[in-house]
Each structure stands twice: as structure tokens, then as C-alpha cells.
Amino acid sequence: MSFMQQTLRCAFRTGRSLRDKHISPLIPGMRNGHHRHSSTTPADDPSQFPGAKAPFVSDLKLILESEYDAIPIYRVMDSDGYIADKTQDPNLSKEVVQKMFNDMVLLNTMDKMLYESQRQGRISFYMTNFGEEASHIGSAAALEMRDLIFGQYREVGVLVWRGFRIDQFIDQCYGNCDDLGRGKQMPVHYGSKELNFVTISSPLSTQMPQAAGAAYAMKLRPNNDACVVCYFGEGAASEGDAHAAFNFAATLECPVIMFCRNNGFAISTPSYEQYKGDGIAARAHGYGMATIRVDGTDVFAVYNAMKLAREYVLRENKPVVFEAMAYRVGHHSTSDDSTAYRSADETEVWNSKEHPLSKLKSYMVRKGWFNENDEKEFVKEVRKKVLKQNNISEKKLKPNWKEMFEGVYYEIPPHLMEQMKELELHIKNHADQYPTKSFEA
Ligand SMILES: Cc1ncc(C[n+]2csc(CCOP(=O)(O)OP(=O)(O)O)c2C)c(N)n1
Ligand SMILES: [Mg+2]
């Protein structure tokens, strides 16, 4: 029996019309039960292919990548902090704008000092956030504390906004006994249960499928009113896990904002070598997701777009791919020297005229909300706090080294127990070679 015969039989057996069963397009020349035009095409309605919905055409041609229009970049402020379209001004209060500015300054100042601490050999590693401050603060300000954050590593401003303290940042960088991660991770791998910020993983894109899964779980909760935000770099978007995450988020319709920080580089690989096509926002189309692309150096653009994205993911229970365009002003990390692969002139533009802080400062000056002395005092105060905390955190004991065997399994398995005993004996026999006094007993 042919497929057509089977379908007709089935339709009639259930006593429903062909139209009810949505099989009318199978009849040549008919669409939704109406006669359209005569045709010898066996199937001229696209809706019958389960894999795609598109019209039929008879002109044979490749669709070239250059034929797609670039996704526009939404911005509110120009480089001078001027808002041309007043309807786009979020009209935030002086207090909120001041907090945005101060948090960016704090992040910037702390970064400069901790970067130096690594150069002095006091901490083992560091990564700065220069140039991306507005992406962090603008997005964090548009969220609710109950929203769950998955970060990559260069989103420290989100934690600053949420209230992670200077002592918590610095204790983590020293991996001491007050580090919430108990010294088990490299510096800058922060995490805070209290602030709904999932601990950073070093392997790129680990957080992306996890974020899609967490959002799926959230959507299943009755009366869910929280979303997930997953930050990642445009380089991490080349990982297989990123694609798996996009597909899960789209097909399972998860309330997640996939926030790409497109800062132009994945260590020394510029974005034009990292991918072809119109950045990361364009991938949303391929996976069937909504998208928005913003100027990531404009704190108000990020704020407005994030508010819109959050509203959409919660109302529709669907994901959004959010692409914040910016420039990584600092080196990738303390293990990198970016002067080897880009010019100082190029970097300087993003560190001055196009820097998120200079734009927000210009806006505040226009509003009469900026005071040069207050800013100087604030920077001085932050420097003092960081300096003092550096000395305190450095002197604190490290957690007992045995803790490195704990925390993965509920009970330490026999093979790890054996390794722990072996190490214990080794340290005992070579006590003069190990700084055992720096560790908790
Ligand atoms: C699976 C994996 N591959 C490679 C690395 C090494 N690595 C660390 S950061 C990085 C570049 C990531 O670039 P991007 O995602 O654009 O973030 P950005 O550093 O620009 O903020 C690479 C390749 C890694 N950590 N994990
Ligand atoms: Mg990058």
C-alpha cells in the first residue's frame, strides 16, 4: 500500500477530514484545502518536509554568505556619551548610574593591581577585564539576583555588581583557607552560591550545555520567574560544546540568555581567523533562536538589550543569543604578550575614546553628575583596600593539602585514599622540601 493510500485510510478511519489531518497539501495544486493552481509537482507545499519550511523555487543558485545582511549593532550612546535618540535613554537614576560607574572603576583598579601582584610573583596567574566593563555591569544591572549566572572567566564585573567583596576576590586569587573554592582552582575561577554565580571551569564552553540544562530545569518549575545567563567568549563559541548548547537551548526551548562577549580575540587568534560569517549573533538564525547584537562598550545599550532579552526568555520560554561587541584591551592573561600580534595604536583607540568608562563619564559630565575629585578619592580608597587585602590574603594559611583529594566523590574512593597516604609519607620523608607550615594542619 502506498503512503498516500495509508494516509487516506487512516484519515477516513478516524472520521476526520483531510483538512483536519493537515494532509491537504499532498493533493497537487491544493493548499489548505483551497485550489491554488494546477501543477504537476508532486509536492509543492513546503510544509510537508519535516526538516524545513520554505518555498519551492526553480532558479538554481547557491546562496552566498555575502548575500546575508549583517545583523545591526544596537547602541544608545555614541563615543562622546551623547544619546541621539532620547527614546532609548533608560533614564536611570543618578544613584544607579553612579553605582555602574563606581563598579566599573573598582573592577578596573582591582585588575590593574592584581595584574601587578602576579608580575611580582605573589599570585600565580591573572586575567584582566579591560574594555569589557560595560558588558558586565550593563547586563548584571538588568537582571534579578535570582537569575543564575554561568561565567567563562572574564565577567568579573557581574560579581562586583552582585556584591562579591574585594577580600573574596583576593582570597580566591591566593587560594587560601578563606577562598570559597578552598584553593583548588587557578586564580580568577570565582564562584558564589550566595550570589547565584556558578564556579568557573577552565576548559572552555563547559558551562554552556550546563546552562542550557539548568534553564530547562528552571522552566519545569511551577511559576518560574528566573532565567539563566551564560557568558562565553567568541573563541569558546568554536568549541563543540557551544553548538550542543545552542541546539539544546533551541529545541528544548530553555529560558537562557547565551551572552557572547565578542572581544575580537581568542588569546592570539583574531576573530576573523576564528570564524567565518556574521559573528556569533548570526548563529542564532541557524539554530532557530532570537538574537540581539549590541555595542558592548555602551553600558546603556547592554542594559536595555538585556532587559528586553530577559523579558523575552521568561515570557516565551525560549533562548536568546546576545552578542556584545567589544575589544579586549588587556593581554589575554598574564601568560600572554599581545604586543606580539597586534599594534599598540589599535589597542589605544579602545583604551581611550572607545573605552566604556570614558563614554559613561562623558554622559555623567553632561548630566552634571560627575565630580573629578570624588572619582580620584574613590580610586584612592579602592587602591588602599586592595593593597591592604593583598597583604592579608597572602599571609593566610592555605587549606590542608589533603583537601585536594576531597570534593569530587561523596566518599574518597580507595585508589585516591592510597594516593593520599603515599603523598603523606612522601611529605613526611622530605619535610624540608615542602612549605608545610603554610598549610592548615
Ligand atoms: C577546551 C579548551 N581549549 C583551549 C583552552 C585554552 N584557552 C583558554 S582561553 C582561550 C581563548 C578563549 O577566547 P574567548 O572565548 O574569545 O574568550 P576571551 O579570552 O577573549 O575572553 C583558550 C584557547 C581551554 N581553556 N579550554
Ligand atoms: Mg574573545
Residue 152 alpha carbon to ligand 2 centre in Å: 11
* φ/ψ (deg, to 5) at 355: -75, 135
- 333 is an active site residue: yes
Question: Per-residue confidence of the chain (441 residues) as pLDDT tens digits?
Answer: 444 344 334 333 333 333 333 333 332 333 333 334 444 454 556 678 888 888 899 999 999 999 999 999 999 999 999 999 999 999 999 999 999 999 999 999 999 999 999 999 999 999 999 999 999 999 999 999 999 999 999 999 999 999 999 999 999 999 999 999 999 999 999 999 999 999 999 999 999 999 999 999 999 999 999 999 999 999 999 999 999 999 999 999 999 999 999 999 999 999 999 999 999 999 999 999 999 999 999 999 999 999 999 999 999 999 999 999 999 999 999 999 999 999 999 999 999 999 999 999 999 999 999 999 999 999 999 999 999 999 999 999 999 999 999 998 999 999 999 999 999 999 999 999 999 999 999
pLDDT, position 48: 83
CB 202 near ligand 1, within 6 Å: yes
Cell of 420: 593520599
Ligand number with the minimum distance to the CA of 238 = 1
Q: Which among 323, 332, 355, 393 is annotated as catalytic?
A: 332
Answer yes or no: pTM beyond 0.95.
Answer: no
39 labelled catalytic: no
CATH domain 86-395 topology: Rossmann fold (3.40.50)
- pLDDT on residue 44: 59
Per-residue model confidence (pLDDT) at position 20: 35
Beta strand residue intervals within 256-410, DSSP E: 256-262, 265-266, 269-270, 290-295, 320-325
- In total, the chain counts a number of residues equal to 441
| Residue 175, amino acid | G
Grid cell in block for residue 395: 599571609
Q: Which residues surround ligand 2, an ion (CB under 5 A)?
A: 233-235, 263, 266
* pLDDT score at 9: 40
CA distances from 224 to 21, 192, 275, 317, 409 (A): 35, 22, 36, 10, 31
Q: What's the pLDDT score for residue 326?
A: 98
Residue 284 CA to residue 323 CA, distance in Å, equals 10
Look at residue 391 in the predicted model and tell me its pLDDT: 98
Q: Which atom of ligand 1 is the closest one to the Cα of 153?
A: 21
Q: How far apart are CA 336 and CA 218, in angstroms?
A: 39
Q: One of 116, 239, 403, 406 is an active-site residue; which one?
A: 116
Residue 50: the pLDDT is 87
Cβ–Cβ < 8 Å for 262, 294: no
What pLDDT is attached to residue 46? Answer: 67
State which ligand 1 atom lies nearest to the alpha carbon of 333: 19
Burial of 86 (0-12, 13-18, 19+ CB in 10 A): exposed
- pLDDT value at position 53? 86
Q: How many CB atoms lie within 10 A of CB 219?
A: 20
pLDDT score, position 1: 43
385 lines ligand 1 (CB under 6 A): no
The residue ranges of every structural domain in the chain are 1-48, 86-395, 401-438
From 258, 267, 268, 329, the mutation candidate for ligand 1 (largest count of ligand atoms within 8 A of CB) is 267
Residue type, 134: A
Burial (CB < 10 A; 0-12, 13-18, 19+), residue 66, is exposed
What own/partner pairs with CB < 8 Å and gap ≥ 24 does 280-286 have?
280/234, 280/237, 280/321, 280/323, 281/71, 281/321, 281/323, 282/68, 282/71, 283/237, 283/246, 283/321, 284/246, 284/320, 284/321
The Cα 247–Cα 288 span in angstroms is 9
Q: Which of 132, 152, 204 to mutate to test the pocket of ligand 1 (most atoms within 8 A of CB)?
A: 204
